């Protein structure tokens, strides 16, 4: 089986999907925090990254928080979501996009995916507003760093008076019509989790153009203290502020954002060239209007190139077939060679926890289809060209 692959040896060092890429300055800013004793959720590193990120994205205010999830939670609160309120959410995404809606007692309604950018389908969103005209917030994702159809989504939100929350956790530095993702909505959320394009090891940021929202986020994320000599509380509080040590890591990373994007783009392009001739496509984007950050390179198999593959809730099986393959086979082969791929985010409407929630589609179920035929490829900045060429060969072999 898998004949010519016997000629390859497994990678000695694991080839990662996307791991942290450090540059040295991170340590200097961590050390500065230590030497000046700002070992707290206050300090120069925090102030600096709030300034730098809000300037980069071009949103007036940034609040550094403990995670992207915390930023999304604060965003849902700012949107005024209360128990029983429905919120329209991107369906094919990481659970952290939608869980914060539930923290506030809201009910996520999932909007199906379109094939042009693998993001929220504006036609399905329009239909969702017909079905639930009272909805007042939309959470939209730029999946794998590819901007969604922002013009259409923003127009629909404006038409229906809904708050637009951008989950830009994966898309820092990506642009749509020359403008940064995270700056289109009322609120933008970024993640500095360990595998994101810029990392603090953890962390996140909320971006807003509204001073009132900025003040509320700062207050809520530091236990909602009122202006009093003692701990006075009128509102529910959270411990969501970022540490000044973590902010030091982010601060050291930020100068390398464009370099990281350039390398990620090169990886995407090398896959695109290397996989030519196979019955597959790379994850698509609007080449005219958008410039992704290429956080993860993904591919999708043509329908007629799929061997039989079945997935239940927690396991997958496939039947190998000549000249055909499937994500399960490719991911298993990559793992055999010590390389890390990943299935596409399993759509939220297919998750047991959310199976009872609404799901709105105009095209059947594009999310389930992309989940079935797609996968994320090793996209680590530190992967060498030689390693990537072997990854490409491993994939090619799956189709022999």
Residue 97 is a binding residue for ligand PLP (CB under 6 A): yes
> Which residues are CB-contacts of 103 (< 8 A; sequence separation ≥ 6)?
73, 76
Q: CB of 64: closest distance to ligand PLP in angstroms? A: 12
Least separation in angstroms between residue 282's CB and ligand PLP is: 19
H helix intervals, 135-222: 150-159, 211-220
- x/- letters, 177..216, toward ligand PLP (CB under 6 A): --------------x-x----------x------------
Q: Which is nearer to ligand PLP, 94 or 318 (CB)?
A: 94
Should residue 361 be labelled a site residue for ligand PLP when binding is judged by CB under 6 A?
no
Q: Which is nearer to ligand PLP, 96 or 280 (CB)?
A: 96
Tell me the site size for ligand PLP, rule CB under 6 A.
Answer: 14
d(CA 337, CA 318): 19
Nearest to 96 by CA among 131, 71, 77: 71
Q: Which is nearer to ligand PLP, 117 or 191 (CB)?
A: 191
Q: How far is 89 from 92, CA to CA, in rounded Å?
A: 9
Residue 298 touching ligand PLP (CB under 6 A) = no
Residues, the chain: 400
Q: Which of residues 123-142 bind ligand PLP (CB under 6 A)?
A: 141
CA 157 to chain CA centroid, nearest Å: 21
SS3 of the chain: helix, strand, coil, percent, to 5: 40, 20, 40
Q: Closest by alpha carbon to 357, among 366, 348, 365?
A: 348
Among 43, 68, 147, 200, binds ligand PLP (CB under 6 A): 68
Does residue number 283 form part of the binding site for ligand PLP (CB under 6 A)?
no
Q: Rounded to an integer, what distance in angstroms lies between the CA atom of residue 351 and that of residue 9?
A: 37
Could you tell me the CA-to-CA distances from 31 to 67, 230, 247, 248 in Å, in that order? 22, 33, 12, 8
Piece in contact with ligand PLP (CB under 6 A), picked from 48-56, 162-170, 232-240, 267-275 = 162-170
CA angle 152, 153, 159 (to 5 degrees): 90
Q: Is 174 in the site for ligand PLP (CB under 6 A)?
A: no
Specify the stretch interacting with ligand PLP by CB under 6 A; choose among 33-41, 167-175, 223-231, 242-250: 167-175
- Please choose, out of 48-56, 94-102, 121-129, 262-270, the segment that lies near ligand PLP by the rule CB under 6 A: 94-102
Angle between helices 44-57 and 25-35 (to 10 degrees): 140
Task: Report, in Å, the least distance between residue 167 CB and ligand PLP.
Answer: 5
CA distance 67 to 202: 6
Q: Which stretch binds ligand PLP (CB under 6 A): 29-37, 62-70, 148-156, 391-399?
A: 62-70
Looking at beta carbons only, is 29 or 94 nearer to ligand PLP? 94
Interface with ligand PLP includes 93 (CB under 6 A)?
yes
Q: Which of 312, 290, 361 is nearest to 91 (CA)?
A: 361
For ligand PLP, which is the closer residue by CB, 170 or 380?
Answer: 170
The residues that touch ligand PLP, with contacts defined as CB under 6 A, are: 67-69, 93-94, 96-97, 141, 167, 169-170, 191, 193, 204
């Amino acid at each position: 089986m898998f004949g010519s692959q016997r000629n390859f040896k497994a990678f000695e060092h694991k080839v990662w999907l996307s791991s942290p890429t450090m540059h040295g300055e991170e340590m200097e800013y961590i050390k500065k925090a230590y030497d000046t004793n700002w070992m707290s959720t206050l300090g120069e590193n925090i102030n600096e990254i709030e300034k730098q990120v809000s300037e980069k994205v071009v949103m007036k205010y940034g609040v550094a928080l403990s995670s992207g999830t915390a930023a999304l939670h604060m965003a849902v609160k700012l949107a005024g979501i209360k128990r029983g309120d429905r919120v329209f959410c991107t369906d094919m995404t990481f659970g952290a996009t939608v869980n914060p809606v539930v923290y506030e007692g809201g009910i996520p309604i999932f909007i199906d995916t379109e094939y042009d950018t693998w993001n929220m389908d504006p036609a399905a969103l329009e239909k969702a507003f017909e079905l639930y005209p009272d909805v007042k917030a939309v959470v939209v994702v730029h999946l794998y760093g590819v901007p969604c159809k922002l013009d259409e989504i923003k127009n629909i939100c404006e038409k229906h008076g809904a708050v637009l929350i951008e989950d830009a956790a994966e898309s820092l530095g990506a642009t749509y019509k020359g403008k940064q993702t995270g700056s289109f909505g009322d609120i933008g959320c970024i993640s500095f989790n360990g595998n994101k394009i810029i990392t603090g090891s953890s962390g996140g940021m909320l971006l807003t153009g509204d001073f009132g929202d900025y003040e509320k986020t700062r207050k809520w994320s530091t236990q909602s203290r009122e202006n009093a000599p003692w701990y006075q509380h009128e509102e529910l509080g959270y411990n969501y502020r970022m540490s000044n040590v973590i902010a030091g890591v982010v601060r050291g990373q930020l100068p390398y954002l464009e370099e990281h994007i350039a390398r990620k783009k090169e990886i995407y392009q090398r896959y695109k060239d290397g996989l030519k001739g196979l019955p597959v496509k790379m994850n698509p984007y609007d080449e005219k209007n958008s410039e992704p950050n290429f956080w993860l390179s993904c591919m999708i198999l043509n329908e007629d190139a799929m061997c039989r593959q079945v997935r239940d809730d927690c396991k997958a099986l496939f039947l190998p077939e000549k000249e055909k393959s499937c994500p399960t086979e490719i991911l298993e082969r990559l793992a055999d060679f010590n390389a890390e791929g990943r299935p596409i985010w399993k759509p939220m409407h297919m998750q047991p926890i959310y199976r009872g929630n609404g799901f709105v589609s105009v095209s059947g179920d594009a999310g389930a289809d992309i989940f079935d035929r797609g996968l994320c490829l090793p996209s680590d900045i530190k992967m060498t060209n030689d390693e990537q060429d072997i990854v490409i060969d491993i994939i090619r072999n799956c189709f022999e």
